[in-house]
Amino acid sequence: MAHRLVAGKLKAGEVAVDATAGNGHDTLLLAGIVGGEGLVFAFDVQACALAATGKRLMEQGLDKVVSFCQRGHENLAEVVPECHHGRVSTVMFNLGYLPGGDKSRITREETTLSAVGQALAMLKAGGLCTVVCYPGHPGGAQEAGAVSRFIEALDPDGYRVERHEGENRLNDPPFLLAIEKLSSG
Ligand code: SAH
């Protein structure tokens, strides 16, 4: 669903951010759309995640489109050069742990909230931020709840927020928060 929304919004030549690169599926989507004229910043705190992402992108000849940042996404505003602030078209978050990796290296409430706030500030008018939340793992429900409350409280004149969730899934299924920054925001 996040991929569908991003594909409907992001255009060639634009600037995008993958705030949780992981195995690189989201980075690949973003880089494939923005192409050689665009730019993607891919963040992850784990070297193995960025290596997996780099390999995936290289296989598709898209690694040159990506700036790989081994920093926490809570440093977003510091790492992404100021010339892009207010011009970013799409930011994607996929929270939780790296599939097939170290389950203790999860995203955390405090840094996630800081990063989402910075991401929204960095979006251009009409830009999109997607956040996939996973309430199922230890600590995940707390983080997902905090992110939901933060996003629900956004000024409706500045942001349009949608929540997407499977209706027939059991056991704390993941849900997607999609935030569009409105022109007046
Ligand atoms: N989008 C990925 C899955 C992401 S899993 C995919 O498509 O495969 C979540 C990732 O967030 C993990 O790789 C983890 O290392 C990373 N992470 C955890 N804390 C982080 C932080 N503070 N900043 C950036 N990435 C972080």
DSSP string, 130-161: EEEE-TTSTTHHHHHHHHHHHHHTS-TTTEEE
CB 177 within 8 A of CB 133: yes
Does residue 89's CB lie within 6 angstroms of at least one atom of ligand 1? no
Atom 25 in ligand 1: residue holding the nearest Cα: 44
Q: What is the pLDDT of residue 42?
A: 98
Atom 5 in ligand 1: residue holding the nearest Cα: 98
State the Cα–Cα distance between residues 119 and 85, nearest whole angstrom: 9
For the chain, which ranges sit under pLDDT 70?
A: 184-185
Strand arrangement, sheet containing 66-69: 66-69, 39-43, 15-18, 88-94, 123-133, 175-181, 159-165
Domains in the chain, please, with CATH? Answer: 2-181 (3.40.50.150)
Q: Is this model's pTM higher than 0.95 or not?
A: yes
